[in-house]
Copies of this chain bind each other. A is one copy, B any other.
Amino acid sequence: MQHAPLSVQVTRGGIVESEHSIKAVIVSSTGEVVESWGDVDMLVYPRSAIKAMQVLAFIEMGGAELFAFSEEEIAICCASHSGEPEHVATVQSMLDKLASSESDFECGCHWPSRAEASYALAGEGKKPNQLHNNCSGKHAGMLGLAKLLGVPSQGYIGIDHPVQQKIADTMAEMCEYDYSTAPWSPDGCSAPTWAMPLTNLALAFAKFASPESLSVERQKACKTLYDAVVKHPFMVAGTDRYCTDMMTILQKRVFLKVGAEGVYIAAIPELKLAIALKCEDGAVRAAESVMTTLLDHVGITSFVADGIMQKYRSVTLKNWEKRTTGAIVCRI
C-alpha cells in the first residue's frame, strides 16, 4: 500500500503552529515493501541511523572477541551517545583494549549532546575531547576494523581508506545498493555517509532483524549487535533520549536508531520487518512522533500499557515554567 507522506502537527493554544511532512516505508526481510508513505525511492542520507551496518564487518570478522569488547562496548559502536560519563568511560575502555588513544580518533570534538553533561564537565573546569563526540563508539569500531584489516588507522575516515571500503562493501550487500556512483559527503564525524533510497535502508535493517538469508558469520554478527543494543539501550543514546526510552519500554522486541536530519530506523525480529523514515525538513521531533505511530501501526507496542505509550503518542510541550503550551501529534 502506498500512501501520501505522513504529517506531524505541533499545536499551541488549540491550533496548529507548525507542521512536518515525513516519508516512511515498512519492508520485510524478504525485500517486500509492505507499506509506504511518500516517495521512498528518493535518495536520503541515512546518517547515524546506519551505524550498526558500519560496525557489522568488524563484528563479523571477530573483532569483539579479539579485543574482548563487552556487550556495552559493542552497543556503543552503534550509538549517537549523549556524552554522559558512562559513555565516555565505555569508549575509553575500548581504546585501552585496542591499545589506541583519543588522538587516534578523527571524529572531531564537541561538547556532550546532553546539556547537563556539558555543564557538569564545564563545572569541573574541563573541556570536551573526541571521546565526548556522539560518534566516538563508532570510531572505536573503525579503529578496531583497521587493526583487523592490518592497515594503519591514519586517515581511516577517508572514502578510499580500506576501513571505509570494507564498510561500503558490507553496506552494499545489506542494502542491496551500489554505492560506487552514489552521492556521498563527510558526515558530522567526518566518516563518509552515502545517499540511498529509503527502501534500501529499510531492507538492510529488515535483514538485520531477521538474518536467515545471510551467511552464518553475518547472521551471528547481526544477532550479536542486536542483542547488545537492546540489552543496553542507554549506551546507544542516553538519558531522556527516545532511542533509549523506547527500546527500554519495548523490552528487546525492537532495535531503534536515530540519524541526523530526521531519519529513524526500527528493526523488529518477531515481525521479520523494518521501518525506515525521514522527516523532509530534518526535524527529529517529527521523526520520533512518526516512529511511535508506526510502532503502534505494526502492532509491536500492543503489550505496553497505554499510560506508558501515551506520552510518546502525544508529546506534551511545556514552557520554562513547566506550563503546558501544546503537543506534538502524528495521525496515520
* A residues in contact (CB < 8 Å) with B: 10, 12-15, 17-21, 43-45, 106-111, 115, 118-120, 122-123, 125, 133, 183-190, 193, 195, 261-262, 279-283, 286, 319-323, 325-326
Contact = CB atoms under 8 A, between A and B. Distances in A.
Nearest to A280: B19
A111 B119 contact: yes
Contacts of A319: 108, 186-190
A106 B321 contact: yes
Contacts of A186: 319, 321, 323, 325
A13 B321 contact: no
Nearest to A128: B119
B10 A282 contact: yes
Contacts of A321: 106-108, 186, 190
Contact of A183 (B15, B43, B280): B15
Contacts of A115: 111, 118
Given A106-B321, A188-B320, A281-B283, 15 more contacts: A12-B185, A13-B193, A14-B185, A15-B43, A17-B45, A18-B280, A18-B281, A18-B282, A108-B322, A119-B119, A122-B122, A185-B325, A187-B325, A188-B319, A190-B321
Contact of A320 (B15, B19, B189): B189
B195 A13 contact: yes
Contacts of A111: 115, 119
